[in-house]
Each structure stands twice: as structure tokens, then as C-alpha cells.
């Protein structure tokens, strides 16, 4: 192990002493990185230069919303006295995807402006934006319909449980008896 460090250390010292060799190694590394980058599809910034338009990402909310409703129905129906339960959750928004952006200063007619372009990844001939963060949809409220909701104690338990799961206020949860 010590021999490897010495050989590697010796190479680094020779590299630092010989600037021409150092530049050649850097050029080879940059060329290798460029080949790997291009072969892998690369990352490109799409602007107004006539390139392939970026497909806007859509938040993945439909399945997650349905799953949350199903899980809430399941847990609420296990509360004593509730019987069958149905849940509908309403949302303020559909959530949001925050794309990665490339910022570049642009100078025209003596004034400088900041130009932002989405960072995209090429995959299978299509451009997809790089997503930095996905914000969950905001919950507006919920309606809970249960067989046992005509009992005020059961209705209160259902409202409290739904508020706990959804992180909402009491007035945003409505509980009704099932017909």
C-alpha cells in the first residue's frame, strides 16, 4: 500500500513539475468527460434558439390523492362504532414541481439582464426538465360519510382522526351520517 502511494505521489510531483504534461493530462480528462457526457445524452439548456421544446413536468397527484383517501377510509372505518366509511379530500392546488434552472447574464445595448433557462436531460429523443423539488398539494378539507356518524361521539372521533391525518383545522372536516 505504501508503494502505491509513493508511485502515485511521484506521478503527481512529476505532473506539477512539467506544466506541458499537466496540461495534456487535463486536456485528456476534459476530452474523456466530454465523450462520456455526449454518449450519455448529456444535459442541455433549451432556450429560444430553435431546439426541441421542453416537455413541462406535471405533478404526480392523482394516484397519491386516491391512496390517501383509501388509507384514511381504512383507518376511520376501524374506529369503534363507525361502520362503513367514505372519504373525499379536496385540495387548494395540485402541488408544484420546482425545475433546475441555468442562470446567465446577458448584455444588450449596455444593459445587463439575467436569462434563466430550464436544465433538461435528453432521454430517448425527448427533453425532460431536471426537477429539484416536488411540493405536495395543499389540502383544503375533507368530507367523511360514515354509517355510525349519527352518534355525536363517533362523529367527533372521526373529525379528530381526519384532522390528525390531514393536518387541517376542525372547520375543514365535515362528517355526515351515511344513508
What mean pLDDT comes out for the span 132-137?
80
**Strand intervals (E) in 83-177:** 85-91, 96-99, 101-108, 111-123, 126-129, 131-135, 139-146, 173-177
In Å, the largest CA–CA distance within the chain is 88
Q: Which triple of cell numbers denotes residue 31? A: 476530452
- One domain for residues 74 and 18: no
- One domain for residues 80 and 165: yes
- One domain for residues 15 and 89: no
**pLDDT tens track for 67-110:** 889 999 999 999 999 999 999 999 888 777 788 888 877 777 77
What mean pLDDT comes out for the span 104-131?
80
**pLDDT tens track for 46-76:** 444 444 444 444 444 467 778 889 999 999 9
More confident residue, 121 or 148: 148
- One domain for residues 90 and 142: yes
> Distance between the two ends of the chain, CA-based, in angstroms?
78
- One domain for residues 172 and 139: yes
Q: Give the CATH number for residue 159.
A: 3.30.300.30
Based on the structure, what is the number of domains in the chain? 2
Q: What range does the domain containing 162 cover? A: 62-95+135-177
Amino acid at each position: 500500500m505504501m508503494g502505491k502511494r509513493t508511485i502515485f505521489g511521484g506521478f503527481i510531483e512529476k505532473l506539477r513539475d512539467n506544466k506541458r504534461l499537466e496540461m495534456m493530462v487535463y486536456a485528456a480528462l476534459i476530452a474523456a468527460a466530454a465523450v462520456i457526457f455526449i454518449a450519455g445524452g448529456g444535459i442541455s439548456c433549451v432556450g429560444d434558439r430553435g431546439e426541441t421544446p421542453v416537455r413541462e413536468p406535471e405533478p404526480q397527484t392523482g394516484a397519491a390523492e386516491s391512496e390517501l383517501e383509501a388509507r384514511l377510509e381504512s383507518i376511520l372505518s376501524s374506529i369503534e362504532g363507525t361502520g362503513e366509511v367514505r372519504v373525499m379530500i379536496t385540495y387548494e392546488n395540485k402541488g408544484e414541481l420546482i425545475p433546475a434552472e441555468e442562470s446567465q447574464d446577458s448584455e444588450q445595448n449596455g444593459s445587463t439582464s439575467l436569462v434563466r433557462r430550464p436544465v433538461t436531460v435528453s432521454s430517448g429523443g425527448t427533453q425532460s426538465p431536471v426537477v429539484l423539488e416536488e411540493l405536495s398539494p395543499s389540502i383544503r378539507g375533507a368530507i367523511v360519510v360514515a354509517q355510525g356518524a349519527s352518534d355525536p361521539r363517533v362523529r367527533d372521533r372521526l373529525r379528530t382522526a381526519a384532522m390528525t391525518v390531514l393536518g387541517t383545522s376542525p372547520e375543514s372536516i365535515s362528517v355526515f351520517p351515511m344513508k
